[in-house]
């Protein structure tokens, strides 16, 4: 049996086999369907999806049963030959990698603007570019859907990337970017592709009118830093925290005092907070939430990426993953909202994800209360293992969120730019390693509850 790929511009592959439950709610079919149905992804949004379907075929079938896309640049057409290949009875779906054709960087959170500027200075097009990510969502997780019974292997990754290279060649993409991927995927991808390339040879070949093949290009890795809270009481044999006060007792006295003072300030403004989950979130709650959410963008003169219909779609199709924290003024009016998604509490490494926030005005310490402390209380109550509050923000660090490595991988198809970008990535990794070390040393835990620094974390 061998692995082959097909390129699809629809989700017909979802019905071809049974798929594993994804590691986060953001890779659930329901989440992606909500994005598509509400226009958050698609041609108009500048997130044009293409799906690389990896499937296993008998060796006798491998030469004749699989067709690749020959008209990828026009995804509005029905690629019937591709779809027929994908559902060939001799082909067994193994994995699917989503790829977006993009002409911008919006909603990604791993920034390569300087690369685009370098291309522009040399008069070379950086667009279109290819991106594999969960749109608008800087959450680490799997980026392939795997069929039940399959595990992520080097062969699957290499086959999927061959599909990416095929797309890049057809549309003239400058690069491919896999964002917020798991450490496992980063390790397999970088190890499975060339890392030591003869740039001089490639440039000479190009000067002589010979095209270099994509397989000659390396997979480059970048690393970033986010902050992740762990529900682990080292003072009590690494058991989950019994309550919020138990968590506070692991912090230095000054930090405990600061957090308690922030929570008092919220109450002293006549503000109370409440949490609702799933079906308990009403139509009026969603309207109030969206009003707050829009305000977050309005103060920056921007339009939100997501519509109220998107959030209502989540409420209809995956309510078991939703928690809404609300702040109410003294008259009972909702003045701020924060929406979280979370894994099933009994799942492995169950995590709470802080995602969408907004307030109708400026209130002292309310952001900390609604986005962090309400989330911490909920994670402790539900027995969740982690709390991922979202990207950026050293203010998370001093509230007990531990610096954690994020990974992205990048494939540059023009050999003239590979050395400089590879050097940038190497220096960036070194800088981020130093930053994580410094951030770790600034953690607010007392000596008895200070976690060990993990250089690989």
How far is the C-alpha of 272 from the C-alpha of 292, rounded, in Å? 16
Sign of torsion, CA 84 87 93 97? positive
Residue 455: CB atoms within 10 A of its CB come to 8
Local confidence band at 1 (pLDDT 50, 70, 90 cut-offs): confident
How far is the C-alpha of 179 from the C-alpha of 141, rounded, in Å? 9
Local confidence band at 386 (pLDDT 50, 70, 90 cut-offs): very high
Please give the pLDDT value at position 214.
Answer: 61
Please give the pLDDT value at position 393.
Answer: 77
Which of 192-206, 248-262, 342-356, 382-396 has the weakest average pLDDT? 192-206
Mean pLDDT (whole number) for 3-28: 97
Q: What is the pLDDT of residues 255-290, one digit of tens each?
A: 999 999 999 999 999 999 999 999 999 999 999 999
Mean pLDDT (whole number) for 242-255: 96
- Asked whether residue 249 carries a pLDDT value surpassing 50, the answer given is yes
How far is the C-alpha of 378 from the C-alpha of 387, rounded, in Å? 10
Q: Identify whether the C-beta of residue 143 lies closer than 8 Å to the C-beta of residue 214.
A: no
Please give the pLDDT value at position 213.
Answer: 54
Q: Identify whether the C-beta of residue 40 lies closer than 8 Å to the C-beta of residue 310.
A: yes
177: DSSP letter:
E
Residue 25: CB atoms within 10 A of its CB come to 24
Please give the pLDDT value at position 159.
Answer: 97
Mean pLDDT (whole number) for 421-442: 95
- Among 67-76, 188-197, 211-220, 351-360, the range with the most confident prediction by mean pLDDT is 351-360
- Asked whether residue 388 carries a pLDDT value surpassing 90, the answer given is yes
Give the residue from 128, 123, 182 showing the smallest Cα distance to 157: 182
How far is the C-alpha of 180 from the C-alpha of 138, rounded, in Å? 6
Mean pLDDT (whole number) for 217-236: 93
Rg (CA), the chain: 24
Q: Which residues contact 356 (CB under 8 A, 6 or more apart)?
A: 289, 293, 306, 311, 338, 339
- Is the N-terminal amide bond of 263 cis, ω within 30° of 0? no
347: DSSP letter:
S
- Asked whether residue 71 carries a pLDDT value surpassing 50, the answer given is no
Tokens of 327: 């702040």
Please give the pLDDT value at position 217.
Answer: 86
- Asked whether residue 346 carries a pLDDT value surpassing 60, the answer given is yes
Mean pLDDT (whole number) for 229-256: 94
Local confidence band at 53 (pLDDT 50, 70, 90 cut-offs): very high
Please give the pLDDT value at position 105.
Answer: 95
Mean pLDDT (whole number) for 179-208: 74
- Asked whether residue 308 carries a pLDDT value surpassing 70, the answer given is yes
How far is the C-alpha of 86 from the C-alpha of 83, rounded, in Å? 5
Q: What is the pLDDT of residues 79-130, one digit of tens each?
A: 333 344 444 566 899 999 999 999 999 999 999 999 999 999 999 999 999 9
Q: What is the pTM of this model?
A: 0.91
Give the residue from 67, 64, 93, 80 showing the smallest Cα distance to 9: 80
Local confidence band at 448 (pLDDT 50, 70, 90 cut-offs): confident
Q: What is the mean pLDDT of the chain?
A: 90
How far is the C-alpha of 443 from the C-alpha of 161, rounded, in Å? 39
Instruction: Please name the helix (run of DSSP H) or strand (run of DSSP E) that holds residue 290, with its range, or none.
Output: helix 283-298
Please give the pLDDT value at position 114.
Answer: 96
- Asked whether residue 333 carries a pLDDT value surpassing 90, the answer given is yes
Please give the pLDDT value at position 243.
Answer: 97
Local confidence band at 407 (pLDDT 50, 70, 90 cut-offs): very high
Instruction: Please name the helix (run of DSSP H) or strand (run of DSSP E) that holds residue 160, with its range, or none.
Output: helix 154-171
Give the residue from 216, 221, 116 showing the smallest Cα distance to 173: 116
Q: Identify whether the C-beta of residue 427 lies closer than 8 Å to the C-beta of residue 265.
A: no
Residue 242: CB atoms within 10 A of its CB come to 12
CATH architecture classification, 232-384: 3-Layer(aba) Sandwich (3.40)
401: DSSP letter:
P
Between 197 and 366, name the one with better pLDDT. Answer: 366
- Asked whether residue 356 carries a pLDDT value surpassing 60, the answer given is yes
How far is the C-alpha of 134 from the C-alpha of 181, rounded, in Å? 10
Between 47 and 90, name the one with better pLDDT. Answer: 47
Q: Identify whether the C-beta of residue 173 lies closer than 8 Å to the C-beta of residue 167.
A: yes
299 alpha carbon, distance to own chain's centre: 25
Q: Identify whether the C-beta of residue 163 lies closer than 8 Å to the C-beta of residue 86.
A: no
Percent of the chain clearing pLDDT 70 (strictly above): 88
**b/e for 290-329, b at 16 or more Cβ within 10 A?**
bebbbbeeeeeeeebebebebbbbbbebbeebbbbbbbbb
How would you classify the pairing of strands 351-359 and 322-328? unpaired
Local confidence band at 390 (pLDDT 50, 70, 90 cut-offs): confident
Largest CA distance in the chain: 76
């Amino acid at each position: 049996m061998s692995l082959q790929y097909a390129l699809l511009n629809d989700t017909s592959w979802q019905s071809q086999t049974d798929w594993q439950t994804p590691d986060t709610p953001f890779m659930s079919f329901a989440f992606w369907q909500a994005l598509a149905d509400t226009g958050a992804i698609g041609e108009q949004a500048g997130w044009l999806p293409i799906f690389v379907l990896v499937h296993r075929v008998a060796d006798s079938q491998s030469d004749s049963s699989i067709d690749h896309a020959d008209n990828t640049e026009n995804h509005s057409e029905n690629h019937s030959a591709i779809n027929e290949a994908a559902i060939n009875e001799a082909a067994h779906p193994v994995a699917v990698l989503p790829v977006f054709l993009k002409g911008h960087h919006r909603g990604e959170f791993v920034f390569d603007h300087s690369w685009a500027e370098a291309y522009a200075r040399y008069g070379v097009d950086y667009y279109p570019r290819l991106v594999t990510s969960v749109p608008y969502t800087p959450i680490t997780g799997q980026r392939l859907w795997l069929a039940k019974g399959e595990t992520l292997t080097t062969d699957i990754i290499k086959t999927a990337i061959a599909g990416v290279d095929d797309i890049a060649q057809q549309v003239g993409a400058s690069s491919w970017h896999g964002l917020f991927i798991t450490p496992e995927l980063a390790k397999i991808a970088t190890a499975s592709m060339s890392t030591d390339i003869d740039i001089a040879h490639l440039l000479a070949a190009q000067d002589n009118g010979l095209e270099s093949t994509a397989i000659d290009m390396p997979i480059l890795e970048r690393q970033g830093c986010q902050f992740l809270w762990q529900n682990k009481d080292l003072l009590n044999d690494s058991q989950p925290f019994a309550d919020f006060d138990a968590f506070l007792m692991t912090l230095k006295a000054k930090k405990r005092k600061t957090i308690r003072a922030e929570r008092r300030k919220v109450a002293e403004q006549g503000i109370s907070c409440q949490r609702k989950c799933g079906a308990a979130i009403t139509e009026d709650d969603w309207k109030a939430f969206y009003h707050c959410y829009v305000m977050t963008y309005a103060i920056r003169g921007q339009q939100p990426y997501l519509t109220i219909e998107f959030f209502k779609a989540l409420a209809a199709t995956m309510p078991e993953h939703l928690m809404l924290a609300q702040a109410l003024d003294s008259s009972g009016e909702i003045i701020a909202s924060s929406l979280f998604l979370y894994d099933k509490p009994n799942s492995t490494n169950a995590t709470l994800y802080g995602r969408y926030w907004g307030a109708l005005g400026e209130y002292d310490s309310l952001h900390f209360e609604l986005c962090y402390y309400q989330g911490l209380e909920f994670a402790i109550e539900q027995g969740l293992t982690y709390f991922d509050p979202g990207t950026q923000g050293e203010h998370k660090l001093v509230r007990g969120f531990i610096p954690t490595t994020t990974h992205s991988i990048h494939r540059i198809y023009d050999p003239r730019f590979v050395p400089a970008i590879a050097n940038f990535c190497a220096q960036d990794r070194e800088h981020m390693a130093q930053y994580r070390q410094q951030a770790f040393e600034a953690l607010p835990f007392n000596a008895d509850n200070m976690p060990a620094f993990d250089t690989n974390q």
